[in-house]
Amino acid sequence: MAATPRLDHDALDDDTLDALDAWCRAADYLSVGQLYLLENPLLLRPLAPEHVKARLLGHFGTVPGLNLVYAHANRAIRERDLRALYIAGPGHGGPAMVAGAWLDGTYSERYPEITQDADGMARLFRQFSFPGGIPSHAAPETPGSIHEGGELGYSLSHAYGAAFDNPDLTVFCVIGDGEAETGPLATAWHGNKFLNPVTDGTVLPILHLNGWKIANPTVLARIPDDELLSLLRGYGHEPLLVDVEKGDDPRVAHRRFAAALDHALDRIAEIRRAASEGDDARPVWPMIVLRSPKGWRGPDTVDGDPVEGTWRAHQVPVDDVRENADHRDVLERWMRSYRPDELFDADGRPVDTLRALVPDGDRRLSATPDANGGRREDLALPAVGSFAVPVETPGAEDAGAMATLGDWLAEVIRANPTTFRLFGPDETASNRLAPAVYAATDKQWAADRSPLDEHLARAGRVMEVLSEHQCQGWLEGYLLTGRHGVFTSYEAFVHIVDSMFNQHAKWLESAADVDWRAPISSFTYLLSSHVWQQDHNGFTHQDPGFLDVVLDKSADIVRTYLPFDANTLLVTMAHCLRGTDRINVVVAGKQPAPQWLDLETASAHCARGLGALDWAGSGGDRAPDVVLAAAGDVPTVEAIAAAQLLRDHAPEVAVRVVNVVDLGRLSTPEQHPHGLPDDDFDALFPPGTPVVFAFHGYPWTIHRLTYRRRAHDDLHVHGYRERGTTTTPFDMLMMNDLDRYALAVDALERMPQGHDRYSALIADLRERRRAALAHTRAHGTDITDVTGWRFRPSDAGATPRPSEK
Amino acid sequence: MAATPRLDHDALDDDTLDALDAWCRAADYLSVGQLYLLENPLLLRPLAPEHVKARLLGHFGTVPGLNLVYAHANRAIRERDLRALYIAGPGHGGPAMVAGAWLDGTYSERYPEITQDADGMARLFRQFSFPGGIPSHAAPETPGSIHEGGELGYSLSHAYGAAFDNPDLTVFCVIGDGEAETGPLATAWHGNKFLNPVTDGTVLPILHLNGWKIANPTVLARIPDDELLSLLRGYGHEPLLVDVEKGDDPRVAHRRFAAALDHALDRIAEIRRAASEGDDARPVWPMIVLRSPKGWRGPDTVDGDPVEGTWRAHQVPVDDVRENADHRDVLERWMRSYRPDELFDADGRPVDTLRALVPDGDRRLSATPDANGGRREDLALPAVGSFAVPVETPGAEDAGAMATLGDWLAEVIRANPTTFRLFGPDETASNRLAPAVYAATDKQWAADRSPLDEHLARAGRVMEVLSEHQCQGWLEGYLLTGRHGVFTSYEAFVHIVDSMFNQHAKWLESAADVDWRAPISSFTYLLSSHVWQQDHNGFTHQDPGFLDVVLDKSADIVRTYLPFDANTLLVTMAHCLRGTDRINVVVAGKQPAPQWLDLETASAHCARGLGALDWAGSGGDRAPDVVLAAAGDVPTVEAIAAAQLLRDHAPEVAVRVVNVVDLGRLSTPEQHPHGLPDDDFDALFPPGTPVVFAFHGYPWTIHRLTYRRRAHDDLHVHGYRERGTTTTPFDMLMMNDLDRYALAVDALERMPQGHDRYSALIADLRERRRAALAHTRAHGTDITDVTGWRFRPSDAGATPRPSEK
């Protein structure tokens, strides 16, 4: 296979070449300064030990390439009046993005103390990777960034997410060749099978092959050109190869890169024009391979070891600079090689050549509202009222919570035709959001189509690809650029994106301290195919542990909701979609199930986040002998059924049933902003009264939330105990002691003299449980008195109203 | 680009064609039977409603393709005397693997009640996805499987892991086109850049393009042939395309697949021969694309809707069979279309044609010891004695725990030259296992090389690729086939493989109940670049939450260790590498740090898992006024330093210092097999005595482990509170209140009248803390009295011996 032609740009005039070269020298200089210097930023004096930081914490290797792309993006933005976003994928690219923002002038606008002069430059240098300063990544503190690049692999997914529904936007996405080895990045290339060239924006991937990771070569830098180009064509791209070699005249490098970029942007314009004129074939989008030496134009050798173009340039190319005069000399010569006196005036201000390359206002990469939440508008949210399930009597009728939600989501889609999307691996239908959602929209799909396809179209609000990483990354990019959406996933497999969740939570937590960032819409997980409805898929599909990962993150950011019927799900989702700067996890079943609360009651219950269900307990004013608590739809049914067993067979026992929708309420107010005050908690769960808690997830999750509560010693949690297989729903409950019989027996045994007084009843309940198990094993179905069970409200249940007691 | 030639196999004789066709019909029939039937397995009677399962839980779509590959693998094994392993990547491929094992005769050997006759067939059918039966995946219960395929994406990583150091092994790895969309699979193709054709075995990827997921087409089935082939060539493969279309004569399909397989195996033999003769260029390994209709040879239409070759064939192609007579008729005609009377004799035994295709004994795919732990031999473990750090006085000398471990691991490598490997993303050197490890071995690398490379070779014991998914999948495959290894990762980024950890834990838990599986070596995570040593990498790199994910899984499987110096790390790792059927998580720092225990003491301490450090506390026989407990290397230093502050400034306070290496000890014996009996726990942590616990991870992790303990109400945990940035190590501790001053203040405040009595001391400690912070912010380094701090043992510390008290 032939390599791509070596492109060269004859038309680039000398002034532009000078400006590009000056920008790169300035940005490289500013990056090195951030890594090394405490003072003497312009090197007006000889470099002395005290000018250098005591701890050198930063990475140079990727920086010159990032700066090159930044400079050329600026040229293209100015020449073509582009609206553009820059995503820097390589790790520790922070210095480059900060340097660019400072040259743009944005940095000083955002942080007035970092002036665009020598003093500001000194502060810029000092704060980098310094206690009380800024991180070494393109973090939330970095103007123009929506992508931190601390954990690698997500740049291209973020780029596609930013481009969806952003038809005027060009996303320059630099992908590190280390990052390119990760799984999420390796599949992110297929984002081009989902992009619509008319209604979406453009992603221009720039694969930065600088050859090395921390201590190893990169895979893609060590395969033959033919193979590399074949791979990229296989991804559906037209690859344009730009080679920069050690010692190359920078002007040659600039001409080559400019030629590739102009070719790519011309081609993109053609593709978009053809598409707008009706060509609906999937385009072959261009992409650029920038092969340049790691730490390009850094020290050639240090102590005789080669550095530029090797893994030794990954972090600080020369260390021990305070102590070692030779090393200090290397650093000084290196920094002076950029000729700072040509780049900054005597006061340290960038010279006009540099200023001339800066785009105007919001068009600056560091100032675009796409990167700071500035384009966000509130979602138009239809009222849930007309979608609610009517509930006259609690538990009298069955309905599917997800199907109900689907009806409402269809309206959300209709009301927000260009700013709201649903993302998921392949499960919108299986989660019962269809058929409603597909009456309102289609799945967007740019690849080949077949007459057998259903609901696939060139444009649509539903994005399905069998990669949780893509779904997560796309939605993050979509939200970070000011839009709205939901990610639906199997509960067990959302663990695939645990680390992406962590990183997004960290981003939101840091971003909360950055005053120039506008709020972005909350990230909402809707986990519908949950552990108690994976009986048919077996043990591999049964895992409620994502809640524990989520609860590890800051209580200021994360919210966990377990609505227990259709109306509480509706109310919860409406709340989540209105929110900003949070991560919501909503767990809700998709199977038809009893409906408990009418809309008004559901709204009140969700507002409180937890409460007693009077109609399920013994009622009256008596203090409870036992509390049956539950969080989650299936556990709540079991707790209600267990209470009914007690009401029927031990009517003298005062039982209270409590449902928890918002897990945050279980924590104390000091631990979580939603934490219930201790007195209210004690009123609901009186200390000294046994509480049998039926929980959707792992039992200790409830313990970790409640360990500070007075009632904690009386709390006995049933939950998923990591027992499962392919079986029936009720068998799953029995395997984990979460079934109504186990709950009722536990409640009876925990009452004073419970075991003695109720031994006959306990024996009877155990026998019914054994019969249920025997029936299941014999027939492969659940016993009729379980599956055919109907709730009967207590006398206290005249109205289906929960109360806080 | 030209497509691959349509291969056809003229040489295949009619008997072989007949046998292949019969096998596929038999295996398809047996698979359908598993999905649907309770009895009447041979259809000797007309199909009646009561013959059919009440709940239909299974997947047919992928099954015919898996059976086709199985049949042809059998032919190749017999003709070429291959040793082979079959990895079925597509989800829910269980029925095919079970059918193959039953036809092989292995199923009846493993499960004698599942005889190879009509009765056994009925039991085989009934147990599938049935309460008390077997899962729907190629689970641990499935003979011949090392790969369950419940969560998708890991087949090819498992295949490479199985092939490393297995030069005689051919791994047939079927990759579903749904699975191919996942990130982990998308990068797993690059495994061929790490395979040595002389010392490793062979992986033959078979990409099974059946076109559909649950409700969507697959990406790779909807790109043009040229693009697909370009992609696969870009992955470094020679792709061989086998097309099977709806209605094709199965014999034509068999001839085509046989031609591709024979071509591939011939080519593999050539590659291996050339390599053994010294050709060390990276080979272009063949791979096969099998494009066949989803649910091939299943029902063409049901109720007028097309099924074969569509997403409707994904699960059960025809449902509602008990109730709907038309559907039952579809099923019966479908099953009879396989002509079971030609395949099984009157007693239900497979006919001779089928038996003739079964390889001998251990060569059967379902019987290979590669898949049941049968090849495992114990690791040769050098004694740790000569590698231990001498410790005369606790805390007197610094050493690097990881460097010490590296010396020993180098010996482990030398002693086990073909059965032990280290896996990691790019950090063996950065984790300080180098230089020692690289004196013993190299990093294995099959791609291009450069003179600048260090420690890269065509064969070596260290596997580094920037994909935690690959590292995890490779090591799983390596262990599951009977070898040994360690996965080193950044603590924060090991969350990337949370879900793979979950799945492996589930595998081990289920496998423990399968008596014919031999033990496999434990999976050991070594998390060295941990949260308290990521000050230079910033907030994105700071996350100790993997422990919480791990602790969610069964206490029978998971072990969590936090050795706190070099010798405890050595002892812990030796213990982990000796173990089987567990998952160990070991967290240990890489920076030089004080050394506390000599080897003998370390061994005793690790055997107990926790204990008082007498030399760090006040000593004597007095009951403690306060316990300073710690788990983790950095927190233990702070707890010891806090105790020293109390000893120095409040000598009347009896302080006990307790270190916990094995978190399992904190649980009760009912919760964890390592759980410390309550009386012993109370002796160490006397109820009523305040315990200030300095923990490596999130504070609530300790609460969830100890909530049942009597002392729990007195336990106050300091840990990572999700505060971090790029800063100094001591600033990180201060940000999270885990520093010595915060611990000492908390201890003083928690003693009766502590705040009043010690208000001057508390003020002084707070002032020292403020000074430390001010110093850090001013100089970018930690204050000298912290970094230069040296431990001084108490009078009780005549010998560095911990005790249980």
Say whether A187 and B190 touch across the interface (CB within 8 A): no
CB contact under 8 Å between A467 and B181, yes or no, is: yes
Same CATH topology for B14-368 and B385-593: the answer is yes
Of A217, A426, A498, the CB nearest to B498: A498
Angstrom distance (rounded) from CA A550 to CA A557: 10
Angle between helices A225-234 and B225-234 (to 10 degrees): 140
Question: Hey, of B314, B495, B529, B557, which one would you mutate to test binding to chain A, going by the most A CBs within 10 A of its CB?
Answer: B495
For A622-644, letters b (16+ CB in 10 Å) and e give: eebbbbbbbbbbbbbbbbbbbbb
The SS3 call for residue A802 is strand
A135, A430, A726 member nearest B725 (Cβ)? A135
Q: Report CB contact under 8 Å: B429, A214.
A: yes
**Mutation for A interface: B289, B531, B539, most A CBs within 10 A:** B539
| Nearest neighbour of A213 by CB, restricted to B184, B426, B725 | B426
Of the partner residues A152, A426, A447, the one whose CB lies closest to the CB of residue B223 = A447
- Asked if B132 and A777 come within 8 Å (Cβ–Cβ), the reply is yes
Q: How far apart are CA A602 and CA A672, in angstroms?
A: 23
Domain parsing of chain B, residue ranges: 14-368, 385-593, 614-803
Listed in order, strand segments (DSSP E) in B80-231 are 83-88, 169-176, 202-209
CATH homologous superfamily of A14-363 equals: Thiamin diphosphate (ThDP)-binding fold, Pyr/PP domains (3.40.50.970)
Which residues does chain A have with pLDDT short of 70? 1-6, 796-805
CB contact under 8 A, B722 and A553: yes
Residue A601: per-residue pLDDT: 98
In contact, B351 and B358? CB cutoff 8 Å:
no
Is B385-593 a CATH 3.40.50.970 domain? yes
Residue A193 to residue B223, Cβ atoms within 8 A: yes
- Within A673-792, residue ranges assigned H as helices are 678-684, 699-706, 729-735, 740-750, 754-757, 759-779, 784-787
Residue of A722, A733, A773, A782 to mutate, testing the B interface (most B Cβ within 10 Å of its Cβ): A722
Which fold, B14-368?
Answer: Rossmann fold (3.40.50)
Q: How far is B50 from chain A (nearest CA, A)?
A: 11
Which residue of A212, A316, A423, A707 to mutate against B (max B Cβ within 10 Å)? A707
SS3 content of chain B, % helix, strand, coil (to 5): 45, 15, 40
Q: ipTM score here? A: 0.96
| Residue A172, SS3 per DSSP | strand
Sign of CA dihedral B504, B508, B514, B516: positive
- Cβ–Cβ gap B538/A449 under 8 Å: no
- Report CB contact under 8 Å: B465, A181: yes
Query: How far does the CA of residue B691 sit from the closest CA of chain A (Å)?
Result: 15
Residue B150 C-alpha, separation from nearest chain A C-alpha, in angstroms:
5
Closest CA relative to residue B549, chosen from A551, A308, A747: A551
Question: What is the DSSP-derived secondary structure letter of residue A12?
Answer: -
**Segment A291-334, tens digit of pLDDT:** 999 999 999 999 999 999 998 999 999 999 999 999 999 999 99
- Contact at CB, A493 and B499, closer than 8 angstroms: yes
Residue of chain B whose Cα is closest to the Cα of A428: B215
DSSP per residue over A514-569, as a string? -TTSPP-BPEEEEEEE-GGG-TTT-GGG---THHHHHHTS-TTTEEEE---SHHHH
Residue A231 and residue A216: Cα distance in Å, rounded?
21
Q: How far is B418 from chain A (nearest CA, A)?
A: 23
CB pairs under 8 A between A and B: 358
Residues A563 and B416: their CA atoms lie apart, in Å, by 54
The first and second tokens of residue A184, run together, are: 């999420």
Q: What angle do CA A268, A273, A279 make, to 5 degrees?
A: 105
CB contact under 8 A, B222 and A448: yes
Residues of chain B whose pLDDT is less than 70? 1-6, 796-805
Best of B499, B672, B691, B696 to disrupt the A interface by mutation (most A CBs within 10 Å)? B499
Q: Which residues of B touch A222 (CB under 8 A)?
A: 193, 447-450
Separation in Å, CA of A136 to nearest CA in chain B: 7
Beta bridge partners of A242: A290
Q: What is the pTM of this model?
A: 0.97
Answer yes or no: are the C-beta atoms of A309 and A246 closer than 8 Å: yes
* B555 interaction partners in chain A (CB closer than 8 Å): none
Domain A622-803 is of which CATH architecture? 3-Layer(aba) Sandwich (3.40)
CB neighbours of residue A773 within 10 Å: 18
Point out the residue among A179, A428, A493 whose CB comes nearest to the CB of B151. A493
Q: Which residue of A has its CA nearest to B187?
A: A183
Nearest CA in chain B to A557: B722
At residue B752, the pLDDT reads: 82
Q: Give the whole-angstrom CA distance, residue B291 versus residue A283.
A: 25
Nearest Cα residue in chain A from B185: A183
- Nearest-by-Cβ selection for B541 from A150, A188, A447: A150
Q: Which residues of B touch A722 (CB under 8 A)?
A: 506, 509, 552-554
Predicted pLDDT of residue A205: 98
**B429: nearest CB among A139, A215, A222:** A215
| Choices 3.20.20.80, 3.40.50.920, 3.10.20.30, 2.30.30.140: CATH for B614-803 | 3.40.50.920
Instruction: Report CB contact under 8 Å: A184, B188.
Output: no
Chain B hits for A232, CB-CB cut-off 8 Å, are: 234
Least Cα separation, residue A462 to chain B (angstroms):
12
pLDDT, tens digit, for every residue of B669-699?
Answer: 999 999 999 999 999 999 999 999 999 999 9
- What's the Rg (C-alpha) of chain B? 30
Residue of A nearest to B177 (CA): A466
Report the gap between the CA of B749 and the closest CA in chain A (Å).
18
Tokens of A61: 């290797």
Locate tokens 């590009």: which residue? A20
**Chain B positions in Cβ-Cβ contact with residue A709 (cut-off 8 Å):** none
Which of B131, B135, B777 comes nearest A777 by C-beta? B131
What is the predicted pLDDT for the residue at B6? 58
> Who among B181, B227, B503 is closest to A236 (CB)?
B227
